[in-house]
Amino acid sequence: MQEKLNINEIIKVEQLPKVFEQLELIGAYVDEQVKDVDQLKCTEENKQEVKNRRTEINNMLTLIDTKRKEIKKKINEPYDLFNKKYEETVKIKLENASKLLTDKINKIEDEQKLVKRNAVEKYFNEYCQFLKVDFVKFEQVGLNITLGISDKKLQEQTKDFLDKVNDDLTLIDSQEHKEEILIEYKKNLNASQSITMIVNRYKELEEMKKKQEELKQVKEAEKENVQRVEQVLSAPTKIEIKTNDEEILQIAFSVRGTREKLKELVQFLKEREYDYEQCNN
């Protein structure tokens, strides 16, 4: 059996080559300790022995890993000092200088972009006057103004946008409800959507009017039926008898309705104990 190694004495913080030598030595020791693990059988008789072996290996791993963390900390300390010095003496100075130059560049480029914007916005206003379009804002064109795009290209994009608006207005002017469509178009600059919205709105209004007219006719028919019944009730054809000073009257009328409605009427007469005769045509 190999002599037990004092890991705390072997693993020390020294130069990296020395540390690698220490790891080689520890690695050889670990190989010796675990070489028979795969051959070790666990039975009821030796279960505790196997558990003890596992505990020994786990303890060894914990010890070595703790030492590894200590070494890492020690190794990193010089680099941390170097990195702090680097940031103070080099990095921060270069970053500040770069930012200063970037700010200067951005300022001049923003001024150049503003010149481009003012030029194309002037063209926009003049072309709007030519087309007699007074409700579109320059921002709605959606131009991406960069230093790489030419003034000519920006004017072409602006012209294409306003020409489309002008074509949309011509289309809208040919529609039946052009005033209302134009109101919607000014909100969204979408001719197709605006036309569809107003057309559908008028369809809905027509449907509403139709339903209201049908309902009105139904109510008038119901009113006429009530009036007819009242006329019949006010003019009984015959006085049968008197019971307790209350006249028993007889009226005759014809009723039309669905089978279910007529059944409901007969049931009503029965429940209210009316004396009635059913005539079969």
pLDDT in tens, the chain (281 residues): 456 666 566 555 455 666 677 778 888 888 888 888 888 788 888 888 888 888 988 888 898 888 888 888 888 888 888 889 889 988 899 999 999 999 999 999 999 999 999 999 999 999 999 999 999 999 999 999 999 999 999 999 999 999 999 999 999 999 999 999 999 999 999 999 999 999 999 999 999 999 988 888 888 877 776 676 666 556 555 555 555 566 676 777 677 778 888 788 888 877 877 777 766 65
Q: What is the residue-averaged pLDDT of the chain?
A: 84
- Residue 185 makes CB contacts below 8 A (sequence gap 6+) with 168, 169, 172, 191, 194
Res 79: pLDDT: 82
Radius of gyration for the chain, computed over Cα atoms and rounded to the nearest angstrom: 50
How is residue 237 annotated by DSSP?
S
**Do 151 and 131 contact (CB within 8 A), yes or no?**
no
How is residue 247 annotated by DSSP?
E
Q: Which residues pair with 247 in a beta bridge?
A: 242
CA–CA dist 120, 225 (Å, integer): 75
Res 1: pLDDT: 47
Res 234: pLDDT: 61
Res 114: pLDDT: 96
CA–CA dist 79, 275 (Å, integer): 115
Q: What are phi and psi of 250, to 5 degrees?
A: -125, 130
Res 9: pLDDT: 61
Contacts 24+ apart (CB under 8 A), 202-205: 202/177
